[in-house]
Amino acid sequence: MERFENIVYKQVASPQPDCTNQPVMLSDETMQKRYEKVLQRMKEENIDTLVVYADLEHGSNFEYLTGFLPRFEEALLVIHDNGKNFMIMGNENLNKVEHSRIKATALHAPHFSLPNQPMDCEESFSSILQIAQISEGKKVGIAGWKNFTSRFEDNHTLFDVPYYIVEDIKKLVGKNGEVFNAAYLFIGNKGVRCINNVNEIEHYEFGASLASDCMLKAMNHLDVGVSEMELGSDLNALGQKNSVVTIAAAGKRFVKANIYPTDNQVKLMDTISLTVGYKGGLSSRAGYAVKEESELPTEIQDYVDVVVKPYYHAVVKWLENVHCGMVGGDLYDLIEEVLPKSEYHWSLCPGHLTADEEWMSSPVYKNSEEVIDSGMLFQIDIIPSVKGYGGTSAESSVVLADEKLRDEIQEKAPDLWKRMLRRRNYIEQELGIQLHEDILPLCSTVGYLRPLLLNKEKAMAKK
């Protein structure tokens, strides 16, 4: 374990909860700039019409412009390059159009409503699309939520939108037009949603810090005899919508395919998995319900050395080296160097972008030439898997900010700036991690990991 000798498990003061509990609304100026960015990308790509699909689970590109999700229904936002917009809505979301952050003409499509609700509309769905001015010979981009990145297929021809919608649009556009997947405008390389301004960072910091505070509460509450549901209650707060299913799992998971917290109680030596996410960020922690490694079964009493130290070493390298202007492939290679995939069996991107959804997209993958840029919100998401041992995790959220953006935050959001500086100071002074100057923590628990979760006094740190 010589290569991890700078990583220690020791007495560490716990970070303090610091969510303001006050959501920050997106300004009219921010919403207008979002719309203008989309129109500009449409112009660059010579797109006549952009059709943005949404449902409750897959509505973030829609919400990016409208400010809301269609709750339990589906919806379409139709944007034309001439500035004319339409919103096609179901029975119970039609009245939301007047509150939308983007001006649009409301069209009623009961096809988007719940099963067996009134469907008395005399127009066919194709007719409604025609009223929304989708017509022959146009270049039409359809954006669902997924930017396909296969190396073996034509990604522009793959759609994650209901068949009848795509079929009718193709028929209306005809052979002289073009219909393709345009999700890349939002979340692909240089996608409009990848970079955030100060107002957006404030908006998302609320959720990231709320998730972090809830994680601290759950970790502090965790003990033998505490139920998963009690921990789940700690993780959920303020009536906010979760970006992922909340995880509070002790011991064996997925019994009878269940993925939710139950009345199962924490037992000594249980593996523990805790995860909660809100808009702007997720917090995840994993470890064992013991105070000391000697309480673990003999064959895994080296858990901290074998699993946790290598993982934490990779997290430290991430925090000390990621910076604006770095190429995604270089970050991938850095993690591969310090935490070889062949040995630690991580498989996903070692870091991805976040926003309204937990995993938006990622510029970090093998041979990626995408640039990590100022204004990107990142999840530090590295998931090692070592046979015979439980997992470990210290996933949290940061924003990358160059000098210009840092100055803007300090000027426009001084309270946010002070919280970020306090978090940086804790990470550097208490955890020994010398953060790159471009990294601003979105919550107080960045870098904080208790692998033995019944011991509330000790955590991982760098010498």
Which pLDDT value is given to residue 1?
45
- Residue 2 pLDDT more than 60? no
Mean pLDDT value of segment 252-258? 95
Percent residues over pLDDT 70 in the chain: 100
Point out the least confidently predicted range of 94-108, 111-125, 299-313: 111-125
Is residue 80 within 8 Å of 100, Cβ to Cβ? no
Is the pLDDT at 375 greater than 60, yes or no? yes
Q: At what angle do helices 414-429 and 198-221 cross, to 10 degrees?
A: 50
Q: What is the rounded distance in angstroms from the CA atom of residue 100 to the CA atom of residue 88?
A: 12
**Nearest Cα to Cα of residue 460 among 439, 415, 430, 429:** 430
pLDDT digits (tens, 9 = 90+) for 144-161: 999 999 999 999 999 999
The average pLDDT across 313-323 equals 98
Q: What is the mean pLDDT of the chain?
A: 97
The H or E element containing residue 214 is helix 198-221
Calculate ∠ Cα 95-99-100, nearest 5°: 105
pLDDT in tens, 390-436: 999 999 999 999 999 999 999 999 999 999 999 999 999 999 999 99
- pLDDT level of residue 360 (50, 70, 90 thresholds): very high
Q: How confident is the model at residue 5 (pLDDT cuts 50, 70, 90)?
A: confident
Architecture of domain 2-24+194-462: Alpha-Beta Complex (3.90)
Identify the pLDDT of residue 120: 84
Domain-wise residue ranges, the chain: 2-24+194-462, 46-181
Q: Is it true that domain 46-181 has CATH number 2.40.50?
A: no
> For 274, phi and psi rounded to 5 degrees?
-130, 130
Q: What integer pLDDT is reported at residue 237 of this predicted model?
A: 97
